[in-house]
Structure 1
Amino acid sequence: MAAIAPSGVRIGCRRIREGDEAHLLPGEAHSIPARQPGMRRASGAARWIAHGLLAELGVGDAAILRTPSGAPVWPEGIMGSLAHDDDMAVAAVAPVGDIASLGIDVEPAQPLPDDILALVTTPADRTDAADRHLAGRILFAAKEAVYKAVYPLDREVLGYEDITVDLNAGHATTKTGRKARLAYCVAPRVVVLAFVEKDRG
């Protein structure tokens, strides 16, 4: 997974395990309203990864609270993203610098159901370079990751139709004109990292 990340971005993953909800710091646990054990377990696993990545950057004991919109709140000077499916949690963090924002998503390495594929795909999307069995799943994860990366910058709600993905070129563009670069891997899970580079103007 580290191979897909640009310089300065740290990525981690782990299987979600029984008891992972215990990794939530008190403030984090209070900020996550979900009562379902599975959701709290997944949130605990993702934050456990993020705490480790933050420690590598010299940031310790920082609670990653959840906002009402669901987005995590990162310590000053840090940006990041969290995601999980039913079995795996992932996190990406980076110091604020050349990259303006990050988004990450994880999905099972299985074909995307046709009905969901029809909702996600637009005629402008390009997926020829991807494994044809997983192209739809990668596209779905890419759009999720791009949304996470651009929402903090533009504060605009986007639908799948508002994000055009070119997996061949490794980038995506939103209807607002925001551009994000993409990197992904497909084993053992589909993981897509989207990142917006700072405009050097």
Structure 2
Amino acid sequence: MTDLDTALRDLAPLGVLIGWRRIAEGDEGALNRGEISATNLSVRRASGAVRIVARELLRAPDLAIPKGEGGEPIWPRMVVGSLAHDDEIAIAATANAEDYEAIGIDIERAEPLVAETFALVVTDRERAMIGDDAMKATLLFAVKEAVYKAAYPLDRVFLEFADIEVDLDQGVAATKPGRSLTVRYATTLSHVVALAYA
């Protein structure tokens, strides 16, 4: 069991399944027709990898998971879920739609957020809580990405980072349109993983 396995096991609330895999040569071959239109090999490979993980979680090896108009994955009826990847790791989260309205997940390298991005991601209120801690800013980045992925299918509103306020201590996030979501996160030596759900 890796650090990431342990982190994800502790991250998942009751009823949420989270899985991951290292992106590998050939994962692009897992894409079904119509799932993604990108021609870039690394994008196709990562997109195939996250779908391999999602299909394993759902025990549906032939399931197609196409993208919606906003780039969100289209799940089967009675399933909510989310997909994410960096350049190395593909990760997916799924749950029963009777238990959860929406789920968002994100994974980022556990590296300090660069100053230019820090200013875009962190609101004044959040800055008062985290100060100049660039690692906590990376965590906020991941949490806000997860929140967006959970909120967009519900509200169909494009959110900037400033449209999401996160309270890491309370484990909640609020969006500009007025939606509140629960947030959880886990860190390993190499990665930060964030989960948001309603």
Q: Same fold judged by TM-score > 0.5?
A: yes
Equivalent residue in structure 1 for 2:16, among 9, 26, 34 = 9
Per residue, is there more helix in 1 or in 2? Answer: 2
Decide whether the 8 Å contact of 1:126 with 1:165 is kept in 2.
no
Question: 1: CA distance between counterparts of 2:129 and 2:27?
Answer: 38
Q: Which deviations, in whole Å up to 9, do the C-alpha atoms of 1:140-167 show, x marking residues without a partner?
A: 0111110110111111111111100111
Matched, 1:18 2:18: no
**Which residue is equivalent to 1:36?**
40
- Give the superposed CA RMSD: 1.7
TM-score between both structures, scaled by the size of structure 2: 0.90
Note the residue ranges of structure 2 that are not aligned, 5 or more in a row: 1-7
What's the offset of the Cα at 1:125? 2.0
Decide whether the 8 Å contact of 2:186 with 2:193 is kept in 1.
yes
Matched, 1:184 2:185: yes
Decide whether the 8 Å contact of 1:127 with 1:166 is kept in 2.
no
Question: 1: CA distance between counterparts of 2:75 and 2:112?
Answer: 33
Question: 2: CA distance between counterparts of 1:179 and 1:39?
Answer: 31
TM-score between both structures, scaled by the size of structure 1: 0.89
Q: Which deviations, in whole Å up to 9, do the C-alpha atoms of 1:34-80 show, x marking residues without a partner?
A: 1010000000110000000001xxx4522111123211110111000
Cα 1:173–1:124 change in 2 (3 A) is same
Alignment of 1:12-161 (within 5 A): 12-25=19-32, 27=33, 30-55=34-59, 59=60, 61-125=62-126, 132-161=133-162
Aligned pair count?
189
Decide whether the 8 Å contact of 1:91 with 1:104 is kept in 2.
yes
What's the offset of the Cα at 1:31? 3.2
One-letter code of the match for 1:49?
V
One-letter code of the match for 2:11?
I
One-letter code of the match for 2:142?
A
Secondary structure at 1:111 match in 2: coil
Question: 2: CA distance between counterparts of 1:32 and 1:62?
Answer: 14
Decide whether the 8 Å contact of 2:118 with 2:134 is kept in 1.
no
Note the residue ranges of structure 1 that are not aligned, 5 or more in a row: 197-201
What's the offset of the Cα at 1:112? 0.7
- What percent of counterpart residues are identical? 47
Question: 1: CA distance between counterparts of 2:124 and 2:151?
Answer: 22
Secondary structure at 1:182 match in 2: strand
Secondary structure at 1:134 match in 2: helix
